Amino acid sequence: MVMTSDYNKKRNDIIKELTTFKKIDYSFSDGHILGSMCSAPHPIAREVYIKFLETNLGDPELFPGTKQIESNLIQFIKELLHAPKNATGQIVSGGTEGNITAMWIAKKLSGKKEIILPQSAHFSFQKIASLMDMKLVSVPLTKQYTLDFTKVNGKITKDTAAVLGIAGSTELGTIDPLPELSDICFDENVFFHVDAAFGGFVIPFLQKLGYDVPEFDFQLKGVSSIAVDSHKMGYSAVSLGTLIIREDKWLDLISVESLYISVKKHAGILGTRSGGPVAAAYAVAKYLGMDGYKKIVENCMNTTRYMQEKLDEIGLTLIIKPTMNVLGVKLSKPDIVAKRLSENGWRVNTMNHLSCIRIVLMPQITKEIIDEFIPILKKTCEEVGEL
């Protein structure tokens, strides 16, 4: 492809058009997206992503170097989650694909179709039910919005394929009683999947920082698989997650024969997939290391506390005391408040079923941004009669 002046002219027109669209988007970099569990990627992620853009890990023998980076990333995540030696990982596009893949394995392992899960399960489980014809058996929550373990009793039956526990719920960042769930699943020999899409890069560091959080990873003997997203608190680029499974042989259950690509067996849901996000996530993990992630979690928890204090000062209350850097702010009309904020350039997520807005204190949210946001939130709440 020769770069001619004709190329430049056409290129400029297209970039101009796309830039017009881009300007309508909200942006992570100004800190005005307060409700998302993603962020702008770490600078090294951008640089590395584009370098590996054209690699295709769906055809790994063409890209043995990138495949090695993928193995290194999986190794890093295994260490993060204290995975045993026999464990392996499957790179996925994020928590949704991680959850689907885990349930695919559980279905194949057990030959059964019921999933026992907390009411707060991510909506990807609705997809799983529809796609895979699995049945969701819902367990009510405690007043702290975690799975009520006393209600699990009797739900595990001969039809149970898997139990789900959440380590950092999408709604409020809560952690289910994972040690108890692990024990019962171990005793009953039932597949136990932990959705740590958000919490996987938070909880290990909360533990190191002295917060009182339960064990959540493969140190619990009943845990069969954990999904964790590098594109959430792993500070890398969308879309990249990892599903770690306790036994590498389980991958065979979701592998099919491939007759015309470079490997003869192909595991997992997707085919062609870029090595870009994989190399990016590895570069960020390598750049930050465990100490870097600990520092990020420390900072996020500090801004979380700061946000809490400021909300308290203007008279707003939380649904529950936060476990991690996720806040549910009680409102009687969350949709109206969110809409008004949106018109002023700020984005929070609404959860009408909990009558709250969600604010996630991602790494890019600073105290300065909070100081800018709070008066606008206050004014908005006053205008619509929330305060």
Burial class (CB in 10 A: 0-12, 13-18, 19+), 139: buried
191 binds its own copies per the rule CB under 8 A: no
Closer of 149 and 282 to its own copies (Cβ): 282
> Which of 77, 78, 81, 94 is close enough to bind its own copies by CB under 8 A?
94
> Which of 75, 258, 355, 366 is close enough to bind its own copies by CB under 8 A?
258
DSSP conformation class of 242: E
Residues 36, 25 contacting (CB under 8 angstroms): no
Q: Which residues have C-beta within 8 Å of that of residue 2, sequence separation ≥ 6?
A: none
208 binds its own copies per the rule CB under 8 A: no
| Shortest Å distance, C-beta 340 to its own copies | 15
Looking only at residues 213 through 242 of this chain, which bind its own copies when binding is defined by CB under 8 A?
229, 231, 237-239
Give SS3 for 376.
Answer: helix
E-only strand ranges, 15-112: 88-92
**Please, which residues bridge with residue 136 across strands?**
115
Helix pair angle (367-383, 276-313), 10° resolution: 60
CA proximity to 300, closest of 206, 373, 227: 206
Closer of 115 and 220 to its own copies (Cβ): 115
Stretch that binds its own copies, among 33-41, 184-192, 215-223, 371-379 (CB under 8 A): 33-41
65 binds its own copies per the rule CB under 8 A: yes
Stretch that binds its own copies, among 139-147, 185-193, 265-273, 379-387 (CB under 8 A): 265-273
Token reading at 356: 């709250």
CA distance 275 to 109: 29
| Shortest Å distance, C-beta 119 to its own copies | 11
Looking only at residues 281 through 300 of this chain, which bind its own copies when binding is defined by CB under 8 A?
282-283, 286-287
> Which of 140, 271, 315, 345 is close enough to bind its own copies by CB under 8 A?
271
* Total number of residues shown for the chain: 387
Looking only at residues 123 through 182 of this chain, which bind its own copies when binding is defined by CB under 8 A?
123-124, 126-127, 130-133, 170-171
> Which of 109, 136, 269, 336 is close enough to bind its own copies by CB under 8 A?
269
What sign does the dihedral 356-299-237-101 (CA atoms) show? negative
| Shortest Å distance, C-beta 364 to its own copies | 8
E-only strand ranges, 16-87: none
Helix (H), strand (E) at residue 186: helix 178-188
> Which of 5, 16, 22, 216 is close enough to bind its own copies by CB under 8 A?
22
Count of residues of this chain found to bind its own copies when the rule CB under 8 A is applied:
99
Token reading at 45: 């992620």
CA distance 71 to 69: 5
Looking only at residues 297 through 356 of this chain, which bind its own copies when binding is defined by CB under 8 A?
342, 347, 349-353
> Which of 246, 310, 340, 358 is close enough to bind its own copies by CB under 8 A?
358
| Shortest Å distance, C-beta 43 to its own copies | 6
| Shortest Å distance, C-beta 56 to its own copies | 5
15 binds its own copies per the rule CB under 8 A: yes
Stretch that binds its own copies, among 83-91, 150-158, 252-260, 367-375 (CB under 8 A): 252-260
Q: Dihedral (C-alpha) 128, 100, 323, 88: value to the nearest 10 degrees?
A: 160
Stretch that binds its own copies, among 63-71, 148-156, 160-168, 307-315 (CB under 8 A): 63-71
Residues 284, 76 contacting (CB under 8 angstroms): no
